[in-house]
Amino acid sequence: MTDHVIVHDDRAVRIVRMNRPDKKNALTGAMYQALTHAIASAADQRVRCLAIMGVPGAFCAGNDLQDFLAAAQSGRLDRHAVQFLHALARSAVPLVAGVQGAAIGVGTTMLLHCDYVVAGTDARFSTPFVKLGLVPEAASSLLAPRLMGHRHAFATLVMGRELDATAALGCGLINATVVPQQVDAEALKAAYEIAALPPEAVAASRRLMRGSLDEVVARIDQEVILFDERLRSAEARAAFEAFFARKR
């Protein structure tokens, strides 16, 4: 499907690695499709835990700039991205993430769907949606306030303030911090620990803790409608023009 997403099953753990280091793992439509398939098919292949990993210095820099520009011009978020968000929300297996370096936009909001997150001391989390005239996505407007509290969530999602690893640990976005070189090992250690637990008990407990998935998916869809509207707004057009002018 794409060489930019590498999927490998080791015993009962599926390791999904975003592998586009030259673009800091900025996600293309093809990468969204590959990630969606890796998550959605896990329950059919005796996978008991799925670990989402990046590369040294970059977990995920958000959407690919060219794809984002196309979305801005069309006024419509890539539907492959929406399918990925639905797959995250409805994942039948526990999700673990190992974060090194940049986690921007969806690189941060996807973590709200994970059950356990390890981050390197070099990790930086940011969600600059509002600065681009947009709104948060991935049901982050629902999940972040629940996890972090309204004030932390507002500062992160609306004000766009960056979190370092210490701040992310303090507000509950991540579970543990380690030196960058140990991120993969620690995240996989947690994944194998989860995979070794009685799977039916894990699934039942996880369903109780996560609550209504329909509510989460409904919020994703509500955000997408507003996201599309905002893409067509004068505020977003001005913000995108300024953003891409800086990139030239």
Q: With the CA atoms of 244, 158, 123 and 223 taken in that order, what torsion angle do they form, in degrees rounded to the nearest 10? A: -80
Q: Which of 111, 105, 96, 40 has the alpha carbon at shortest distance from 71?
A: 105
- Distances in whole angstroms, Cα of residue 123 to Cα of each of 12, 24, 90, 165, 183: 28, 13, 26, 5, 10
CB 51 within 8 A of CB 12: no
φ, ψ at 128 (rounded to 5°): -85, 35
Per-residue pLDDT of the chain (248 residues; tens, 9 = 90+): 579 999 999 999 999 999 999 999 999 999 999 999 999 999 888 999 999 999 999 999 999 878 877 877 787 888 999 999 999 999 999 999 999 999 999 999 999 999 999 999 999 999 999 999 999 999 999 999 999 999 999 999 999 999 999 999 999 999 999 999 999 999 999 999 999 999 999 999 999 999 999 999 999 999 999 999 999 999 988 988 887 777 66
pLDDT at 242: 85
Question: The whole model's pTM is what?
Answer: 0.95
pLDDT at 178: 98
Q: How far apart are CA 65 and CA 244, in angstroms?
A: 9
Angle, in degrees to the nearest 10, between helices 234-247 and 213-231 = 80
- DSSP helix/strand/coil, 20: coil
pLDDT of 175-187, one tens digit each? Answer: 999 999 999 999 9
Fold (topology level) of 5-182: 2-enoyl-CoA Hydratase; Chain A, domain 1 (3.90.226)
Domain boundaries, the chain: 5-182
pLDDT at 188: 98
- Take residue 90 and report the two structure tokens written for it: 């409805």
Q: How many CB atoms lie within 10 A of CB 166?
A: 12
